[in-house]
Structure 1
Amino acid sequence: MAEWDSDTENQRVMSKVARLYHSRGVRQTDIANRLGISQARVSRLLQAASDSGIVRTVVVSPIGLFAELEESLEEKFGLVQVHVVEALDDHDEGELTRDLGIAAAAILQPIQLESQTIGFTSWSRSWRHMTAALQPVRTSGDLFVVEMLGNVGPPRLEHEATRATQRLADLVGATPLFLRAPGVVASTAVRDAIIDHDVHTQEAIAAFDRIDIALVGIGDCEIVHPLVSGENFFREEQFALAKSLGAVGEVNLRFIDADGKPVVSDLDELVIGITLTQLRVAKRRIGVAGGLSKFVAIRAALRAEWINILITDVLTAQRLLADDEKHE
């Protein structure tokens, strides 16, 4: 048992050193100081990571490193898969978002795609990091990548979302279906006018009913930079209304309560994007999210099975498991 523990710890440190060096560009001397080890050991660990195949185009943590934790979460929430990733800094949610996105690229890389439609949440920071780290994927047949929500936030974010969708489509050899309409509008009349007069928006919305793999966005009921209140997005008072009705989070801007049940209100009619009913049709619904601020929303999404594949960090996974046990 002691020998297995030692080997596991060595793999953990090897993975962390490789990610700092290759993914973050941190110098070996700085890695040594950060982890409290010698520079010579850092060099040896980097060579070992290369020899063992941990270092590829992106750095991949060893599969099964948290197998027991993953299996426990799969059983507790009835999930198809759980992938637990060790973050470099669990308390820096910006770094955590990047780490999870890079990990998601490595996890999704082997998926076989054949004549499928992929629903993509292009405004999600984690999913954009995933597309930046992903390498070309072998596919066959006619594939489509469809944006599951319209524009949210300022023009810069719209540009980043468009590039991410195009890159993902290029990497999997798919036709992109852009939803270049506001994600949130002022009224149902505005929503209907946009849809009625934009053939590309109509084409994207029509594809929602045939999504096979959904790359889902999960958020709390807060406005997080670079999103701006009212800028193709809900206003602060609208989030306050949703919370007063019991919302603890949202899945692609569809509000859910603590048990994951939809929070029904007129706000739903202002969103140009996939509905929860349409999302449920997708066979694989993948969520990549972690951190304390999103914990309640992640738990709610799991309870109602709005996602059935979860990619998260160690601390969030441990909280999910411990919290669920306390309520049994």
Structure 2
Amino acid sequence: MTDVDGQRLMIKVARLYHTHEMRQTDIAKRLQISQSRVSRLLAQAEDASIVRTVVAVPQHVHAELEERIESIYGLSEVHIVDAVSDDETELGKDLAHTMAALLHDVAFEVHTIALTSWSKTMRLMIDVMLPMRTRCKHVIETLGDLGPPALQHDTARSTQQFAALTGAQPVFLRTPGVAASPEMKDLLLSRDPHAQKALEMLDSVDLALVGIGADEIDPDLRPGDNFFTDEQYAHVRELGAVGEVCLHFLDADGNPIDSELEDLVVGITREQLKSARHRWAVAGGTRKHRAIRAAVAGGWVDTLVTDSATAQFLVDSAPAALQGARETPPAKGNTRRRMSASKA
């Protein structure tokens, strides 16, 4: 049997099992192969990403805690995950699967999605997503290239993959995400009409999918490699920064930090992010606690996927200005959520 014949058989077995819900014994009889071979082909289909598994966590297992955070911070929705490990990589996988399941539970009517594809959790999410029926027309990268070439390649692949899953056209931002100087930024953009168009399209975003960064350089990035240096991070920390959203640094209360670094970022602006009709963030872990609190306190996101330890931190350390907002919102139902392209 040729490789092509083997792939065809693997796909046929996967479709019979997962799409047509046939038992392995029945598949073996129909295709005149052994049941053990059916099992091996199903396992190979998962290894080849022909079949992707998403663990759909029942919503609102932490209903009371979720509603408390929504009330305190004025969020539309909070979804809390019980992480299987404190390890940051394992936590990222749990959060990514949850975010992927939530996206599938939304009837999408959005036309433009801004995607932070350099976020590792976002890339993990895309890897486990299934195709969706949407009205999405464009998926736009929120930031230019960051980090080494291998990471840039991964982010471009993720953008392409996410666009294919949503039936949209990818809009890449193939320019350094952090310029060496404002003058260099202006020069780069003046010679790149594609980047100019991408940045203009971020004026009208229906859904922004963002990560939240801590007040230190992400482990996947290298200082100064299309990115900020250690010295620049130290400078914004001195100004009060506790984290960032799309490389916009925030203080503990979620107020933007005004510094010269703001003029170096090539990507979605603070005004464009705030004007997006929906802003979903996925982030968790002790290292990002203060950054996540800043992002929700400042209104930079309206829907949050996080872990239970971070959720408890958000309640216990809520800024004093928000302590009075304790009214419990209406109980959450199990109705299918619909995301409209028009403002409410």
With normalisation by structure 1, the TM-score equals: 0.80
- Please give the residue correspondences for 1:105-116 in structure 2 after superposition, counting only pairs within 5 Å: 105-114=100-109, 116=111
1:72 maps onto 2:49 in alignment: no
- Please give the residue correspondences for 1:251-270 in structure 2 after superposition, counting only pairs within 5 Å: 251-270=245-264
Whether the aligned pair in 2 keeps the contact of 1:177 and 1:203 (CA below 8 Å) is no
CA deviations 1:193-240 (Å, max 9, x no partner) are 111111211111011100110001210121122200000000000001
Measured after TM superposition, the shift of residue 78 of structure 1 is: 0.5
Larger radius of gyration: 2
Q: Which residue of 2 aligns with 1:215?
A: 209
In structure 2, do the counterparts of structure 1 residues 216 and 83 end up closer, same or farther at CA, with 3 Å as the change threshold?
same
CA deviations 1:229-285 (Å, max 9, x no partner) are 000000000001111111111111011111111100111111101111110111110
The letter of the residue matching 1:105 is A
Equivalenced residue count is 271
Q: Which residue of 1 aligns with 2:132?
A: 137
1:61 maps onto 2:57 in alignment: yes
Structure 1 ranges of 4+ moved more than 2 A: 112-115, 325-328
Q: Which residue of 2 aligns with 1:49?
A: none
Computed over aligned residues only, the root mean square deviation of the Cα atoms, in angstroms, reads 1.4
CA deviations 1:64-93 (Å, max 9, x no partner) are 21111111111111100000011110x201
User: Alignment partner for residue 82 of structure 1, among 78, 82, 106?
Assistant: 78
1:304 maps onto 2:294 in alignment: no
Cα distance in structure 1, aligned partners of 2:218 and 2:265 = 18
* Corresponding residue SS for 1:185: coil
The letter of the residue matching 1:120 is L
With normalisation by structure 2, the TM-score equals: 0.77
Whether the aligned pair in 1 keeps the contact of 2:110 and 2:207 (CA below 8 Å) is no
The structure richer in helix per residue is 1
User: Alignment partner for residue 307 of structure 2, among 309, 313, 318?
Assistant: 313
Gaps of 5+ in 1: 1-55
- Please give the residue correspondences for 1:1-328 in structure 2 after superposition, counting only pairs within 5 Å: 57-89=53-85, 91-114=86-109, 116-140=111-135, 143-324=137-318, 328=323
Gaps of 5+ in 2: 1-51, 324-344
The letter of the residue matching 2:260 is D
Cα distance in structure 1, aligned partners of 2:94 and 2:105 = 19
Whether the aligned pair in 2 keeps the contact of 1:246 and 1:257 (CA below 8 Å) is yes
* Corresponding residue SS for 1:191: helix
Whether the aligned pair in 2 keeps the contact of 1:114 and 1:143 (CA below 8 Å) is no
Whether the aligned pair in 1 keeps the contact of 2:181 and 2:264 (CA below 8 Å) is yes
